[in-house]
Amino acid sequence: CDSAQIEARCNAWVASIIAGTECVLLPIFRRNGDPYGEFGTVVYGYPVSKENPETAQERWVAKQAVLGLGYQMSWRKFQLHMKTLADKLFPDDFCQNVVNVYRGMYP
């Protein structure tokens, strides 16, 4: 059995139960969409997809955001997490924006 995107799928399902309304991530999974690419597109303001090697870094950042922020990661923790994984310190305002966009899209 393939457990692709299991963390994000389970998080969206549980969030839907708690909220009493379907999480907007669930339809993306149902249509075999790319939740990381879709989130990255909103964050960066240009198309991000796994099919485009030129946006692989942006999709990877979006994936880390969707996975971590779904479990209530703060912007500072996101920043530290990215520093650990990418050995790069993302600016405060970028990390804050990523969290704000996520919370707005997936309340």
The structure's pTM equals 0.88
Identify the pLDDT of residue 71: 86
Give residue 40's pLDDT band: very low, low, confident or very high (50, 70, 90): very high
pLDDT tier at 2 (50, 70, 90 boundaries)? low
Mean pLDDT across the chain: 90
Q: Quick one: tokens of 72? A: 């209530």
- 7-30 tens-digit pLDDT: 888 888 888 888 777 778 888 888
The string over 17-29, giving b where at least 16 C-beta atoms fall within 10 Å of a residue's C-beta and e elsewhere, is eeeeeebebeebb
**pLDDT value of residue 59:** 97
Angstrom distance (rounded) from CA 48 to CA 46: 6
In sequence order, which residues have a C-beta less than 8 Å from that of residue 20 and are 6 or more positions away? none
